[in-house]
Amino acid sequence: MSPDPYDLLVIGSGPAGQKAAIQAAKLGYRVAVIERSHVVGGVCVNTGTIPSKTLREAVVYLSGHAQRGVYGQSYRPKDHVTVDDLLSRTSHVVEQEIDVITDQLRRNRVDLIAGTARFVDASTLSVATPDGERRLAGDRIVIAVGTVPSRPHDVEFDEETILDSDGILHLSRIPDSLVVVGAGVIGIEYASMFAALRTRVTVIERRERLLDFCDLEVVEALQYHLRELGVVFRFAETVTAVAPSNGSAVTSLASGKQVPSDMVLYSAGRRGATDDLGLESAGLTADERGRIAVDEQFRTSVTNIMAVGDVIGFPNLAATSAEQGRRASCHAFGVPVGSQSAFLPVGIYTIPEISYVGATEQELTAAGIAYEIGVARYRELARGAILGDRHGMLKILVASVDHSLLGVHVFGSGATELVHIGQMAMALGATVDHLVDTVFNYPTLAEAYKVAALDATNRMRHLARVAGRPAARA
């Protein structure tokens, strides 16, 4: 069988694979994308980012959570929220995204091949399609297969009471009680969604704290808010068994505790979907979590093969993966591309949201960098009052020496949108003084930047006065 020749073969059609393929096609190369699922979009569109974030919006609306600060804790636009209510909107958005991605690939003349790819050698793939085997030859190959949920062998997943983060999107009912094993990003996002629906949620985490890569003050604010919704946290606990029992489930802990619940969401991380790729035939290996090592240009140890997206590990964000795919194609074909920005935003779609860019207080303290903080609380903003968000806050970290912005941390409504103002300010080298001098629309949440900047400036002025130094500018 003579393989079909391509300039670039991309395995996987998630954000990383899409952008790698489209970038190469726009450069004039012949490109094919191999997707084993019956639809494009990868985990991002089908089981991850898009459906979970759409589900979140449905929860916020149907539970009345966003309006309770205005109309009271009993406010609810619908007395009885069903699974169909939540998932109907999700299905619509997913279908729309699939249509958009398929159209983009077609318009750029990218061949979309349905099937499961496996390496024959470093430049040849065997693809098992519904019509039989097909062989493809690629001068360059990009691995963008994404990840799958980790499933410990001692957990009895039954897709009804014990589920992973894929299965949670196919619920038959909204549980009265839920145990979430693992307080990572996915686990805590779903924990907050179900808590907003008045499900009794217990979060079990083997680490000592929640989201240890985030700013501690922001995490404490989230944890306080979730506790107000009835969430129970069990930190420094190890799960020894999860088993169905009489239509419910029991989670056993090493400490001897047992936690009963209607359902269990086991969210103990994800692993690269590389098991069936036949990497050894291409001279490649994956680590114990299925991830592939790459250099700064996303090249693997085999120079014509690149890897991008979640399969290469941190930061495991759809936006970052898409940019990795674009840059990988440019590197593959020798096209100059600017340096990657060091200021990558992180968004966590809990209820309320968390988003940040830059350093945390803990990182700056450990590095011995002098800084000052500036805080704006949503309850002090007219827009916050209009939205009914009394929990939100925006915090900026400012270098004491040159007033540069070192970090921006947001908790509350619109956090994942609001953070981009700080991201661009940091990327352009703006200082806290620029924020003080900027006029923001009123009433907006963006005004929080000026409030926080004035707070930081006043703190620095007070320190200068006490220390007998020249005062900071007005």
Asked if residue 191 and residue 114 are part of one domain, the reply reads: no
Q: What is the pLDDT along the chain (474 residues), one digit of tens a residue?
A: 678 899 999 999 999 999 999 999 999 999 999 998 777 877 776 677 788 888 888 888 887 766 666 656 665 666 678 888 888 888 888 889 989 999 999 999 999 999 999 999 999 999 999 889 999 999 999 999 999 888 888 788 888 899 998 888 888 889 999 999 999 999 999 999 999 999 999 999 999 999 999 999 999 999 999 999 999 999 999 999 999 988 899 999 999 999 999 999 999 888 999 999 999 999 999 999 999 999 999 999 999 999 999 999 988 888 999 999 999 999 999 999 988 788 999 999 999 999 999 999 999 999 999 999 999 999 999 999 999 888 899 999 999 999 999 999 999 999 999 999 999 999 999 999 999 999 999 999 999 999 999 999 999 998 888 877 776 565
Asked if residue 235 and residue 192 are part of one domain, the reply reads: yes
DSSP H/E element including 460: helix 448-467
Asked if residue 358 and residue 314 are part of one domain, the reply reads: no
| CA distances, 474 to each of 101, 159, 433, 437 (Å) | 50, 61, 9, 10
Number of domains in the chain: 3
Burial (0-12, 13-18, 19+ Cβ within 10 Å), 474: exposed
Distance in angstroms (rounded) separating the CA atoms of residues 162 and 261: 10
Q: Are 147 and 311 in contact (CB under 8 A)?
A: yes
Q: What number of other Cβ atoms are within 10 A of residue 178's Cβ?
A: 26
Encoded amino acid at 473, one letter: R
Q: Are 471 and 450 in contact (CB under 8 A)?
A: no
Q: Please choose, from the candidates 83, 248, 233, the residue with its C-alpha nearest in 3D space to the C-alpha of residue 156.
A: 248
Asked if residue 122 and residue 16 are part of one domain, the reply reads: yes
Asked if residue 209 and residue 174 are part of one domain, the reply reads: yes
The residue from 253, 268, 283 where one domain ends is 268
- Does residue 133 lie within any of the structural domains? yes
3-state secondary structure of 279: helix
Q: Are 140 and 306 in contact (CB under 8 A)?
A: yes
- Does residue 327 lie within any of the structural domains? yes
pLDDT of residue 263: 96
Tokens of residue 387, six digits: 């939205």
Q: Please choose, from the candidates 309, 323, 295, the residue with its C-alpha nearest in 3D space to the C-alpha of residue 12.
A: 309
- Does residue 13 lie within any of the structural domains? yes
What CATH number is given to the structural domain containing 364? Answer: 3.30.390.30
Could you tell me which residues come within 8 angstroms of residue 100 by beta carbon, excluding any fewer than 6 positions away? none
Which residues form the domain of 312?
4-149+271-332
3-state secondary structure of 11: strand
Distance in angstroms (rounded) separating the CA atoms of residues 287 and 267: 20
The residue from 287, 302, 332 where one domain ends is 332
What CATH number is given to the structural domain containing 209? Answer: 3.50.50.60
CA-based angle 84:90:94, to the nearest 5? Answer: 140
Asked if residue 64 and residue 100 are part of one domain, the reply reads: yes
Q: Are 105 and 17 in contact (CB under 8 A)?
A: no
The residue from 251, 268, 285 where one domain ends is 268
Asked if residue 8 and residue 105 are part of one domain, the reply reads: yes
Q: What is the 3-state secondary structure (H, E, C) of 50-96?
A: HHHHHHHHHHHHHHCHHHHHHHCCCCCCCCCCCHHHHHHHHHHHHHH
Distance in angstroms (rounded) separating the CA atoms of residues 280 and 284: 5
Q: For residue 30, give the DSSP letter.
A: -
Q: What number of other Cβ atoms are within 10 A of residue 400's Cβ?
A: 16
Asked if residue 307 and residue 429 are part of one domain, the reply reads: no
Asked if residue 113 and residue 35 are part of one domain, the reply reads: yes
pTM of the model: 0.90
- Does residue 369 lie within any of the structural domains? yes
Could you tell me which residues come within 8 angstroms of residue 69 by beta carbon, excluding any fewer than 6 positions away? 387, 388, 389, 390
Tokens of residue 213, six digits: 């890569």
C-alpha 351, offset from chain centre: 14
Asked if residue 93 and residue 24 are part of one domain, the reply reads: yes
- Does residue 341 lie within any of the structural domains? no
pLDDT of residue 42: 74
Place of tokens 């030859």: 137
pLDDT of residue 67: 63
Distance in angstroms (rounded) separating the CA atoms of residues 344 and 423: 8
| CA distances, 29 to each of 109, 111, 135, 326 (Å) | 10, 12, 19, 14
Pairing of strands 305-307, 162-163: unpaired
- Does residue 111 lie within any of the structural domains? yes
DSSP H/E element including 406: strand 405-411
Strand 393-399's sheet: what is its strand order?
346-348, 354-358, 405-411, 393-399, 371-377
Rg (CA), the chain: 24
DSSP secondary structure, 87-137, as one string: HHHHHHHHHHHHHHHHHHHHHTT-EEEESEEEEEETTEEEEEETTEEEEEE
Backbone angles phi, psi at 132, to 5 degrees: 115, -175
Instruction: Reply yes or no: is the peptide bond before residue 152 cis, omega within 30 of 0.
Output: no
- Does residue 456 lie within any of the structural domains? yes
Asked if residue 275 and residue 264 are part of one domain, the reply reads: no
Q: Is the dihedral of CA 274, 276, 277, 278 positive or negative?
A: positive
Asked if residue 136 and residue 278 are part of one domain, the reply reads: yes
Tokens of residue 76, six digits: 């609810």
pLDDT of residue 71: 53
- Does residue 245 lie within any of the structural domains? yes
Which residues make beta-bridge pairs with 372? 398
